[in-house]
Structure 1
Amino acid sequence: MEGDFIKINEWLLPLSWLYGLGVRLRNFCFDVGLLKSHSFDIPVISVGNITVGGTGKTPHVEYLVSLLRKHASVAVLSRGYKRKSHGFIIADSSATARLIGDEPMQMKKKFGDITVAVDKDRVNGIRRLTDGKTVKDIDVVLLDDAFQHRYVKPGINILLVDYHRLIIYDKLLPAGRLREPLNGKNRADIVIVTKCPKDLKPMEFRVITKAMNLFPYQHLYFTTLVYDNLCPVFCGKERPLSSITPDINVLLLTGIASPKQLAVDLEPYTKHIHKLTFSDHHRFTSADVDLINNTYASLPHPKLIVTTEKDTTRLLETEGLSEDVRHNMYALPVKIAFMENQEKFNENIIGYVRKNSRNSILAKTKDDNKSRNSHNSGNRPRTISFRNH
């Protein structure tokens, strides 16, 4: 059920109150203009959350990339969390997870035709991407994990909320996992409840919609996780997820913020799931490699290792994994699927980019439509209306 992964440390609530005081002061400074938010003359779409831990940002950004890349020149700008570099960097063929971070590296490997850049200073990053010199003809910038980065004022602000950790039931850090008070959701143009069960009932949609208490200008959507075939990390062939049978022992190797959902989703295939869990963005040490090798060797046959695409970017740069481990390690790619109103979401995103883009095919389509309809005022191109930013 919704909120079932939430755990509140009641004894830390006084510290949460102090933390909340600081966050409210910061937000007030932005609201009244003491701290400045920067707007840009190019479509900017931000995807983020107000909780610590994974809400599915990367697969949602990848969905936007897949939606827009056929029509526009797309750039993804990330902070590059825990990378061993500084400043603005554009990923090229020599990029590594150590240089740009694991999530940007994952997207660069998956979408080689887009621009992936990292910069802790998102304002500087967008300026570099759109100056016409660093990169040519960027049409839209997708900001990964930037909901709290209020120095940028995006054209569309997308807030992700984990179904299992609904923000309406959570508390501020450190008692809970909220990064800012609940009213921070009011800055969102689009709210997506992620990781929903595939059998979510219509009544549950209505209950969550009412509980989220959004404003009329905000659009609410629900998505669920969808898994592709298991992909070999080092060698071998793809295999369907259904090839995991009840007799197979699975070593679930993760270094992500919220691995619990993945374990739950694997349980219908086998109950023999052995978890080896590391912290989010964890860099595997020689001691970790020994632990992985020894743990896998101790499991009875038949067996295999399942990990995430995000972890794969770091594991590929890790030395010392045994041949047995390397030959039996598979990544489980994850995508998102809308449970309702997918076409409406797509139209909103494409419509925003079409309305504001300077160079893309979408902008050309808009101009062509204007030309064709210049003598027919009753047949104007459709655009969307978000609140005035």
Structure 2
Amino acid sequence: MSPLLTFVLLPLAWLYAGVAAVRNWLYDTGLLAATGAAVPLINVGNLRVGGTGKTPHVAWVVELLRNLGQQPAILSRGYGRGTKGFRLARPTDTAATIGDEPWQHFHEFGGAVPVAVDEDRRHGLAELAALQLPISAVVLDDAYQHRRVQPTLNILLTEQARPFWHDYVLPAGRLRESRRGARRADVVIVTKCPPQWPETAQHAAAEQVRRYARPDVLVLFSSYIYGRPVPVSGALTYSLPTSGSEVLVLTGIAQPEPLLAYLREAGYRVVRHMSYADHHAFTSAELAEAAAVLQPGQVVLTTQKDAARLREPHLRTAVASLPLFYVPIRVSFLADGAERLHALLMPLLTPQPVA
């Protein structure tokens, strides 16, 4: 957005921020009630609309909990789904019925982690409890502004290239509430950092975080590690692309730039980028367009999140006819960030019996 347009939209942003501030004040003073749960609630959210890396960070927290002997569940809104209300993910579900991010989590953990969706997280927690599943912790995906629920630990994400302290409230910027919303965070993770980001830059970023968050907030830094491409169809019918391969990149996410930068650094030759809006529902016609421009030896690369939507049943034939792969990612913390987050989580968890 241009600086001039940002300036023009600032009065609307102040109005939006004022409404959000009144709502937050009602919860902060107890005039509106927030409820917890019988198990620890670990929220992973942000101040900004889209693109901060919630999905891989939720997966990282879930994997950590499992490694600690916990039995976590994931509760999400299920953005973009065609259903309403509470829904527990089943093998027959798709991105259309539970949302692309919940479906990705369900697929990634092989159904071993309960994944539920509900627009009303408080209702979703009650429904999960009523199922009497062996759950020892719930990871809330993107519930930072869902004040009806009181997390045990609030993890706030902000992207290194677009940090919240340089942004404005909607519609002048991309923030859902003012920068002061960071005061509710117990942990702030600056995401998508260069793996070798200098300590001086980290220190400067932490100082900016603490201008708005609590002085004692834990500030951590994470980056992405990209894996070898994986066929979206599940069957390896085309040769795996390697460094030097010519690729068409197909994305429907908020921030595709980190993937594009990685591919170029890794030696892939990006010949075209077909970019769509976040949570885009792909069509057979769009996949046919990608197939039409592919040259012999070229392949299509997409993200793990997009792969969830590309596995919709009505796209099965189109996907099977394409050399289509997704690039998996996982979170890696800089310095001792993983150990520090581990240490913060441990006192909140109930020891589990040894199997």
TM-score past 0.5 threshold: yes
Deviation at 1:282, TM superposition (A): 1.3
Match of 1:105 among 77, 92, 103: 103
Whether the 8 Å CA contact 1:37–1:150 is kept in 2: the answer is: yes
Tell me, yes or no, if the aligned pair for 2:249 and 2:270 is still in contact at 8 Å: no
Q: CA deviation at 1:146?
A: 0.5
Distance 2:12 2:205 in 1: 29
- TM-score after normalising by structure 2: 0.91
Match of 2:352 in 1: 360
Whether 1:69 aligns to 2:61 is no
Aligned to 2:301: 306
Secondary structure of 1:331's match?
strand
Q: Report the 3-state secondary structure (helix = DSSP H, G, I; strand = E; otherwise coil) of the residue aligned with 1:225.
A: strand
Amino acid paired to 2:195: K
The one of 185, 193, 196 equivalent to 1:188 is 185
Secondary structure (helix, strand or coil) at the match of 2:81 reads coil
Matched, 1:41 2:38: yes
Residue 139 of structure 2 is aligned with which of 124, 138, 142?
142
C-alpha distance in structure 1 between counterparts of 2:129 and 2:238, whole Å = 39
- Residue 251 of structure 1: aligned partner: 248
Return closer, same or farther for 1:199/1:237 CA change in 2, 3 Å cut-off.
farther
Q: Does 1:348 align with 2:344?
A: yes
State the structure with more CA Rg. 1
Shift of residue 238, structure 1, vs aligned partner: 9.3
Partner-residue secondary structure (3-state), 1:138: coil
Unaligned runs of at least 5 residues, structure 2: none
- Measured in 1, the distance between the counterparts of 2:172 and 2:259 equals 25
What is the letter of the counterpart of residue 283 of structure 1?
A
SS for the counterpart of 2:161 is helix
How far apart, in 2, do the equivalents of 1:168 and 1:294 lie? 40
In the other structure, the counterpart of 1:338 is 333
**CA drift at 1:347:** 2.1
For residue 156 of structure 2, the aligned residue among 151, 154, 159 is 159
In the TM superposition, what is the alpha-carbon distance from 1:207 to its structure 2 partner? Answer: 1.1
Tell whether 2:123 aligns with 1:124: yes
Q: How much has 1:294 moved relative to structure 2?
A: 2.6
Q: Is 1:315 the counterpart of 2:310 in the alignment?
A: yes
Cα separation, partners in 2 of 1:185 and 1:320, compared to 1, 3 Å:
closer
Give ranges in structure 1 of 5+ residues lacking alignment: 366-389
Q: In structure 2, what is the Cα distance between the partners aligned to 1:184 and 1:105? A: 29
Asked whether 1:207 is paired with 2:204, we answer yes
Q: Helix, strand or coil for the counterpart of 1:272?
A: strand
Q: Distance in 1 between matches of 2:49 and 2:86?
A: 25
In structure 2, the residue matched to 1:281 is: 279
CA offsets per residue over residues 331-382 of structure 1, 9 Å max, x none? 11111000022212112223321xxx3x733xx79xxxxxxxxxxxxxxxxx
The structural deviation recorded for 1:9 is 2.3
* Alignment RMSD: 2.3
- Partner of 1:305: helix, strand, or coil? strand
Q: Which amino acid aligns with 1:28?
A: W
Residue among 78, 85, 91 paired with 2:76: 78
> How many angstroms does 1:178 deviate by?
0.8
Candidates 9, 14, 17, aligned match of 2:14: 17
Deviation at 1:22, TM superposition (A): 1.0
Q: How many residues align?
A: 347
Contact 1:91 1:115 in 2 (8 A): yes
The 2-side partners of 1:349 and 1:135 are apart by 24
